[in-house]
Structures are given as structure tokens and as C-alpha cells.
Amino acid sequence: MSDTSSVSRPERGRGIGTLAELRSIVTLPVELGMRLFDPPMRWVQRMIGARRMAYVFLLPNFVFFGLFVFLPIGINIVFSVTGGTALFPSQRPYVGSDQFAYLFDCGSYLDPATCREDHFWRAVANTVKFVVLQVTAMVLLSLVTALVLNMRIRGRGFFRAVYFFPVLLSPVVVALIWKWILQRDGLLNAAITTLGGQKIIFFVDPSWAMFWAVFVSVWAHMGFYTLILLAGLQAIPADLYEAAEMDATPRWRVLTHITLPLLWPNMIVVIVLALIKGAQTFDEVFVLTGGGPGTATLMVVQYIYETGFSSQVQNFGLAAAASVVLGIVLFVLTLLQFAAARRKEI
């Protein structure tokens, strides 16, 4: 008996020892860090008081944001009010609002050809067109998909995953997949010719190019918005539907008088988020169409990129001014989203 226990004890001891060792290895850097930081932090707390310590803990993040977000915004604003081709702000002459005046010098804002910087206004018109089409299609399709995925259908979990899957892909990957499908000798044209049709060269037709830019964008992002709407649908208490059933409510009236009004706060969030995302569209459309044919799918962000970095004369000032304009539009949209989020509670 004693032999057995004397054999088993060291084994158990080794097991515990291994676990403890592993734990100490994992926690060692944390403990070392704590010991390293403890004396200076105590000193700081003594100097400034416990209440102000919150700012000390916020400081690293603030420095990070300052360096990589606020500082570039500031530099961008400096570039937007200075001219020339020099890179360093100190070498750039101050031009005030000249860049903005140049951007906004238009005979008619509805006709880009009358604008001095017609590329910018073509990009604005394309972006507005893209956003209107994309957001409308996105919201409607996301809503229908969410309504269907909220029903008790066979394979519901599978379909929920399938619709969300494109969201996980990089925009460039999405665009390359669809470019492969849509190109002259792509999968879609192969299918069309197999069925006896003629090849369509999608990306030389402005309407087709815009259509596919919208389609691919909707395909890539719909899962995310569907998820938001699905969460909204699932948050509607089931007993409201039972009450509607007891009230002998026809199905279309359940949709229009109960589901949609209760889903409206989520719809607002989806619409505003989709607007913000749509206004910033660049990578997918750029990889898919390159902004063409001509300027048919040139978006504002692509205009900024090309004006600042890829044109022969790298006009940082004009690109920065366009960025400021886009930034203001996005800021207004973000305020709208915050307002919508605050009104979410019924």
C-alpha cells in the first residue's frame, strides 16, 4: 500500500510541477513588467494624485492616435492650404483657400464639363451615383436576406455563414475574383457563349462597368449589413408576433406595421454605415475597373490617390483639399449615424 502511494505521489507531483512551471513561464514577462513599472507608476501617482492617473493610462493610446491619425489629419490640412510640388510643409508656400476655390470653380455643379477640375466633379458624380445605387440595393437585398434567414428554413445556419463569408475576404481578393469571372475570356462570358450568346466586354461599357462595380460591392458587403438587420429582427420579441397572430393580422401587415417599424433603428444604422462606406469606396472598384472606361467609374478616393501620387505632377495640395472635402462629408454622415444610434431606443 505504502509502495503504491510512494510511486503515485511523485508522478502527480511532476504533473503539478509542469503545469506550475508552464504558468510561471507564461506569467513571467507580465510579472517582470509589473515589477519594472510599479516603482515609477507609484512615484507618478504620488506626484499627480490617484484621480489623474486615468490620464496617464490613456497617454500611450493618445500618443498612438496622435501620431497616426491626428497628426496626418493636421498635415493634410496644412497641405490643403499650401501650394507647389515640395513635400515638406516648410517648403510649401501658403495659398489659403486657393485649392478649394480651384476645386469648386464650376459653371454648373451638375455638369462636370463646366468645372475647372472636371475630374474631381466626375468622381463626385460617379461616387454619388455609386452610393445611391449601392446603398439602395444593399439595404433592400440585406433586408430581404435577413427576413428569409430569420425564418425557420432548412439549413439556416449554413446560409447565414454563406452570406457572411464574402465579408471576410480582402476587397482586392473580391475584386480579383470578380475580374476573373467578368473579363473578356472569363467565366461569365464562357457561360454566355456556351448558351449560344455573344461575349460581352463588360468593362468597356460605362453602364456595365458601373453595374458590376455596384454588384461586386453589394456582394462583398451585404453579409455584414444582413447580420445587423438579422440581429435587429431577432431582438423583436416573439410575443409581439403572437399578439399580432391573435389580432388576426395579415402577413403583409405584420411586415409593414410591426417588423419594419421595429427594425427601423437598425435600418437607419445600416443606411448610414453603407453611405459612409460607399463614399470611401476605392480598392474594389479600382482593382475591378481601374476607374474606367474613361472616367466612368472614377471615385473620389481614386481621384485623390491619382492626383496626389500617381499623376505626372503630384499635386499634393489639390489632393489634400479634396480629402478635406470628403472628410467633411464623412464627418456629417458620422454625426448622422451617432444621432441614429441615439434614437435606436424606442
Partner 1 sequence: MAELKLTSARKSFGSIDVLHGIDLAVRDGEFVVFVGPSGCGKSTLLRLIAGLENVTSGEIHIDGERVTHLPASERGLAMVFQSYALYPHMSVRKNMGFALENMGLKPAEIEARVARAAAMLRLTDYLDRKPKALSGGQRQRVAIGRAIVRDPKIFLFDEPLSNLDAELRVATRKELASLHAGLGGTMIYVTHDQVEAMTLADRIVVLNAGRIEQVGTPLELYNRPANAFVAGFIGSPRMNFLPAVVVSDDGTLRLTVGEVEVALPRPASGLAAGASVTLGIRPEHIEIAPGDGMLAAKIDLLEQLGGETFVYATAPGLPQITLRQDGQSHFHRGDAVAIRFAPDHLHIFDAAGAALARP
**Nearer residue to partner 1 within complex by CB, 52 or 343:** 343
**Nearer residue to partner 1 within complex by CB, 38 or 245:** 245
Shortest Cβ distance from residue 245 to partner 1 (Å)?
5
- Does position 257 interact with partner 1 (CB under 8 A)? The reply is yes
Three cell numbers, residue 304: 485623390
**Nearer residue to partner 1 within complex by CB, 23 or 257:** 257
**Nearer residue to partner 1 within complex by CB, 1 or 248:** 248
Binding mask 202-241 for partner 1 (x = CB under 8 A): -----------------------------------x-xx-
Shortest Cβ distance from residue 224 to partner 1 (Å)?
26
Residues 6+ apart with CB under 8 A from 69: none
Binder of partner 1 out of 147, 258, 329, 336 (CB under 8 A)? 258
Are the beta carbons of 322 and 330 closer than 8 angstroms? no
Q: Annotate 326-341 with b (16+ C-beta within 10 A) or e (fewer).
A: beebeeebeeebeebe
**Nearer residue to partner 1 within complex by CB, 162 or 240:** 240
How many C-beta neighbours within 10 Å does residue 86 have? 12
Binder of partner 1 out of 54, 195, 248, 313 (CB under 8 A)? 248
| Residue 343: strand, helix, or coil | coil
Binder of partner 1 out of 11, 246, 313, 342 (CB under 8 A)? 246
Residues 6+ apart with CB under 8 A from 255: 147
Which of 105, 74, 305 has the alpha carbon at shortest distance from 82?
74
CB under 8 A: which stretch of 68-76, 178-186, 254-262, 319-327 binds partner 1? Answer: 254-262
- Does position 253 interact with partner 1 (CB under 8 A)? The reply is yes
Cell numbers 460617379 correspond to 126
- Does position 343 interact with partner 1 (CB under 8 A)? The reply is no
d(CA 22, CA 26): 6
Are the beta carbons of 220 and 171 closer than 8 angstroms? yes
Which of 279, 280, 290 has the alpha carbon at shortest distance from 209?
290
Number of residues that bind partner 1 (CB under 8 A): 17
Shortest Cβ distance from residue 241 to partner 1 (Å)?
9
Are the beta carbons of 164 and 299 closer than 8 angstroms? no
Shortest Cβ distance from residue 237 to partner 1 (Å)?
7
Q: How many CA atoms lie within 13 Å of 153's alpha carbon, on the beta-carbon side?
A: 13
Shortest Cβ distance from residue 253 to partner 1 (Å)?
7
**Nearer residue to partner 1 within complex by CB, 197 or 237:** 237
Residues 6+ apart with CB under 8 A from 195: none
Are the beta carbons of 214 and 132 closer than 8 angstroms? no
**Nearer residue to partner 1 within complex by CB, 7 or 248:** 248
- Does position 249 interact with partner 1 (CB under 8 A)? The reply is yes
Are the beta carbons of 337 and 276 closer than 8 angstroms? yes
Shortest Cβ distance from residue 242 to partner 1 (Å)?
5
Tell which positions 93-152 bind partner 1, by CB under 8 A: none
- Does position 245 interact with partner 1 (CB under 8 A)? The reply is yes
Helix (H) or strand (E) holding 114: strand 111-115
Binder of partner 1 out of 144, 247, 338, 343 (CB under 8 A)? 247
Contact residues: partner 1, CB under 8 A: 237, 239-240, 242-243, 245-250, 253, 257-258, 261-262, 346
